[in-house]
Chains A and B, each alone.
Chain A
């Protein structure tokens, strides 16, 4: 093979590998169960659960050993007929609320959930105050004849600013 041909072949191989990578990944995330409804449930649940090893991935995305084990747990529990809530509780009983991508609403997460709304309210209040103050401020006094003449002269560029 000539050098350019070889390079072309290598490029094609790389492209093929890249194209195949997400496929392989997706196949891995799909549960082994044959039931498509159960599969969809398992994927949906896995996407809500955080992998604690690589914390910014769900267990559906992660290939960490623990994520593989937890996906297997999800599949097994679905096969055993557990409800979604039961499976989520199984996870939070062991790993805490941190395992949930969407933290639950409770006393300790009040600031987390309420914070943005609170900031929005503060911002709105400030805006309202600002607009009101502006409206209440007296309109600027009209220009005197002398000032007007000076301004016009400046705009026309005919004279230099006398001051």
Chain B
């Protein structure tokens, strides 16, 4: 067989492989540069008790989830039942970051959909969101005992992501 005929086939194969891999990628998922880095510090007012503040330093020595949500966020409704369930199982403390939201609307939303959070804080102007590189709500960060971000989930948390990734990683980090 003529060897030259194999060249177009090889080129096609390479292009095909690239396109096939590309099909499986989600362009919305931008890898975060924050993974493996210390979680940005913040000190914010609590949603239910604005007289009190909560800071990242308060969680030192604990593995915890930081879930970015908002009452205006439609996709948050999708993941919310899963978070409520996770909170009920008491596997890991969840802190809510009410992102660019009206606190009254946030409180009302939690009353309506259930409150899985150990506590929520209010990021009224989104400054903390920018520090965490938030670009699509909901987002969920897994932070270890030393305060290092270990995992970031962009978009609604799925049952699969919880079972396959987040919970196993939480357990592993809690042991260390």
Total number of B residues with any Cβ neighbor in A under 8 Å? 16
In the complex, what residue of chain B is closest to A96 when comparing beta carbons? B33
* Contact size range, A: 10 to 19
Of A53, A70, A96, A97, which contacts B130 at CB under 8 A? Answer: A70
Which listed residue, B30, B33, B125, B132, touches A52 by the CB 8 Å rule? B30
Interface positions of A from 51 to 77, Cβ below 8 Å from B: 52-53, 55, 65-66, 69-70, 73
Selected contact of B136 from candidates A52, A92, A96, A98, CB within 8 Å = A52
In the assembled complex, A161 has its CB within 8 A of some CB on chain B = no
The 0/1 profile, CB within 8 Å of A marked 1, for residues 121-160 of chain B is: 0000110001111011000000000000000000000000
Closest 6 CB pairs of A and B: A52-B135, A94-B133, A96-B33, A98-B30, A95-B133, A69-B126
Q: Which residues of B contact A (CB under 8 A)?
A: 27-28, 30-34, 100, 125-126, 130-133, 135-136
**Sample of 9 further A-B pairs with CB below 8 A, known A94-B130, A96-B31:** A53-B135, A66-B135, A73-B130, A93-B33, A94-B34, A95-B33, A95-B133, A95-B135, A96-B133
